[in-house]
Amino acid sequence: MAKIKTKYVCHECGYESPKWMGKCPSCNSWNTLVEEVVASQSNARHIMVTGEPTKTKPEKITSIVTKDEPRIKTNMREFNRVLGGGIVPGSLVLIGGDPGIGKSTLLLQVSAQLADSNLDILYISGEESTRQTKLRADRLGVKSDQLYVLSETNLVEIVNQIEYINPSLVVIDSIQTIYRDEITSAPGSVSQVRECTSELMRIAKNKHIPIFIVGHVTKEGSIAGPRLLEHMVDAVLYFEGERHHTFRILRGVKNRFGSTNEMGIFEMKEEGLREVMNPSEIFLEERSQGAAGSTVVASMEGSRPVLVEIQSLISPTSFGNPRRMATGIDHNRVPLLMAVLEKRVGLLLQNQDAYVKVAGGVKLDEPAIDLAIAVSIASSFRDKPSRHDDVLIGEVGLTGEVRRVARIDQRVQEAAKLGFKRAIIPSKNLDGWTPPVEIDVIGVNTIQDALKKTLGDRD
């Protein structure tokens, strides 16, 4: 009997090694090499070179005829927004998220809405039986004869059902449970996930059927399986949020057919997910008025401005090295802005602990939130609250200047719509647009000017 040959493959980057190693030499990740069986060489196919193309031939780019294909719209405008305007026919979309966050609920609701629009939908569950899926459908009020449910993990059977039904949309829940008989490794391994996704991508492109696949998430927060999986699909969406809170955020990190900065807000109810049309009101509804260290910033999430509250707590340290902690923003931004406040404004912050948080669980990463963070830190340090109807927008430089930001008109209009009376913005952003009459727009050049306008500093 021939000896079975094995190899070790890194499930982060796909690096192959003949022996196990604790650290991958390619991506420097620890404990990521898994054992797989090597296929016999007798089954390998050799490429026959004939010198002439057989099926497909290259075309001149000027002779290729294109047309605008209509997207498949769902009743969830937040879902359509994240995808760039709707589901693109023939696209392969990967959705990841923590267990129990609501990925299956979201896709079952989307499938039911499209089935009600007279489209044939195939929902394939590899983790639940058809009766378990029916129990969730009853709770969500799903009743459509054009929604087909299949409990299967064999890729061959799944492909046969897609050929037979020819649906308008396919949902695979989840890709880690699907396997091919030709591959000897277990379902969820690097080889199984890669080959199954490749076959599903071929079906999506050839038959022009959009396919959604669900991917499990590792403890580090990334989608389980090889990183190659995210490069193969057309779009990667993350479903985020705390399991014990009602709000969920659908965020796009890759999208070949739209922006990757879009964000959709949902609220988990007993009857399923309900989209939140105005997330700014949700993020600000529990804000305390007159509290020191609280400011509001208008941040752009894709094409939509969102107003969120930034909270800071500055207290004397009891350690040798003061602590700097941040939630919802880059933790390196807090000591940078504190250094600017200490050098340019004269605030003695080197012996203070700093805790900065973005309320509501949203994550912000654009430079326009710098001014709100800096004023929030100064407000908590001075124990002097800023006006509750102020919104602050601007990037802070290392020399203390407040720099211009993009889409200032949309940010200010959103603040005016929610009842804010003043907008502190960079002076360079005052020209070229007309602010709303119900809000007072004030331009500042430096962080010192911003503190004078918001905290009434006399320095």
Q: In angstroms, rounded to a whole number, what is the distance separating the alpha carbons of residues 295 and 101?
A: 30
Are the beta carbons of 148 and 157 closer than 8 angstroms? no
HEC per residue, 172-189: EECHHHCECCCCCCCCCC
Q: Is residue 104 a known part of a binding site?
A: yes
What is the torsional sign of CA 99, 101, 105, 109? negative
Q: Is residue 86 a known part of a binding site?
A: no
Q: Is residue 215 a known part of a binding site?
A: no
Q: Is residue 203 a known part of a binding site?
A: no
Angle, CA 217 vertex, CA 358 and CA 84 arms, to 5°: 65
Match 């064999």 to its residue by tokens. Answer: 154
Q: Which two tokens stand for residue 55?
A: 């099926």
Classify each residue of 141-152 as buried b or exposed e, where b means 16 or more C-beta atoms within 10 Å of its C-beta: ebebebbbbbeb
Q: Which two tokens stand for residue 7?
A: 């190899």
**CA separation (Å) from 162 to 93, 121, 177, 200, 283?**
17, 10, 18, 10, 42
Q: How many residues does the chain have?
A: 459
Q: Is residue 318 a known part of a binding site?
A: no
Q: Is residue 5 a known part of a binding site?
A: no
Q: Is residue 102 a known part of a binding site?
A: yes
Closest CA to 418 of 443, 436, 442: 436
**Looking at 48-173, which runs of residues are DSSP E strands?**
92-97, 121-125, 147-151, 169-173
Q: In angstroms, rounded to a whole number, what is the distance separating the alpha carbons of residues 35 and 189?
A: 9
Q: Is residue 101 a known part of a binding site?
A: yes
Annotated binding site for ATP: 97-104
Q: Known binding site: residues?
A: 97-104
